[in-house]
Structure 1
């Protein structure tokens, strides 16, 4: 029995920047938790907003994997093959749990807040087998053979989806979506803390200049 992917399907990215922004919008008002002595401190206000959230899921990619598996039984007398097109979804998130004041830098002269965040984390692919399409070949496919073909194709599809999800283009789209969500919320925080019009630059670990 051999199992092999026959092609890599096109991947379609669906940004969830809006959902990500909503996920941390309530945390944006966390600066109010500071006492009067901290009011107006851009770093203190921003750190408070982040400590209220552990993770931001800002992006989701819809992928499609095309795989095939073969099965041989009774000394080769029964040969069967299954081709499957299995959709998958992968979420991209930023872990805020380790973010602290050292990751924020306020440049008063440039009127700019620079934020350093961890690298985007790629989630485990979630296969949508309910929407999968199958094509089976063989004169007689036993129940055991069908189960094995399904199992093997599922394993290969999950691996291929994980490989697709690490594509540099998708990772950049995920960074851009997360960057926009974080920037929009921190601009709101800074405005409320008395710094209207301040610029926010968001950098991720592994990026040039980060």
Structure 2
């Protein structure tokens, strides 16, 4: 009998695990403070008199900073039919996925900083955050399978379809406004602390660091 393979991948309503917020920037800030202190001791206050130069020193050798991460749980399903529809199988999968929100520090230059000496305020404009490709943890995936007979080829195809759909769903979930706002807030907090500490170490007391993203209104205006 001739065979006909058909696959009908589909997506069911996604679920989202509570986001996991991480703060790797705490150690980062302390390291920067130590670096600025050593530079201050080595070169003296005359060399670090410019607050913008001091702030840029904080980012000089950093490429990117992970400011936030979220644990997601996309739920997907795929169907498979073989032998002219006589063999039908279905697989529902819940595959945990982690995404990270990163800030490209290499884009932060003097043009993105403004110092107001009158009120000792440093304003920093950040580039958009980048979201990593979802990292699927298929070792912890949960499956529900339906079908009288699920062949090896059918199982492999169902797995491939569900992996692809789970990655797509996780990427969509990661881009939703709630998580993006949480990530931006974490980025603002991280940059504010990463710059405030070195400035204070360099002798700028009572300094205020205001952080915004491209396109956002300046809080001082």
Task: State the TM-score, normalizing by the size of structure 1.
Answer: 0.94
Q: Find out whether 1:185 has 2:194 as its counterpart.
A: yes
Task: Say if 2:25 and 2:194, in contact at 8 Å, map to a contact too.
Answer: no
Task: Say if 1:24 and 1:56, in contact at 8 Å, map to a contact too.
Answer: no
Which residues of structure 1 form unaligned runs of 5+?
none
Whole-Å separation in 2 of the counterparts to 1:41 and 1:94 = 24
Q: Find out whether 1:173 has 2:182 as its counterpart.
A: yes
Out of 82, 96, 117, the position equivalent to 1:87 is 96
Out of 4, 13, 20, the position equivalent to 2:19 is 13
The aligned length equals 209
Q: CA deviation at 1:52?
A: 1.9
Q: CA deviation at 1:24?
A: 4.5
Task: State the TM-score, normalizing by the size of structure 2.
Answer: 0.89
Trace 1:39-78 onto structure 2 (pairs within 5 A): 39-78=48-87
Out of 27, 36, 56, the position equivalent to 2:32 is 27
Which residues of structure 2 form unaligned runs of 5+?
1-6
SS at match of 1:195: coil
| Aligned match of 2:3 | none
Superposition RMSD in Å:
1.6
Whole-Å separation in 2 of the counterparts to 1:8 and 1:118 = 30
Q: CA deviation at 1:187?
A: 1.0
Q: Find out whether 1:2 has 2:8 as its counterpart.
A: yes
Task: Say if 1:27 and 1:53, in contact at 8 Å, map to a contact too.
Answer: no
Whole-Å separation in 1 of the counterparts to 2:162 and 2:215 = 34
Task: Say if 2:125 and 2:214, in contact at 8 Å, map to a contact too.
Answer: yes
Task: Say if 1:20 and 1:59, in contact at 8 Å, map to a contact too.
Answer: no
Trace 1:109-188 onto structure 2 (pairs within 5 A): 109-188=118-197
Q: Name the one with the larger strand percent.
A: 1
| Stretch moving more, 86-95 or 107-116 | 107-116
SS at match of 1:8: coil
SS at match of 1:12: coil
Task: Say if 2:28 and 2:194, in contact at 8 Å, map to a contact too.
Answer: no
Moved beyond 6 Å, runs of 4+: none
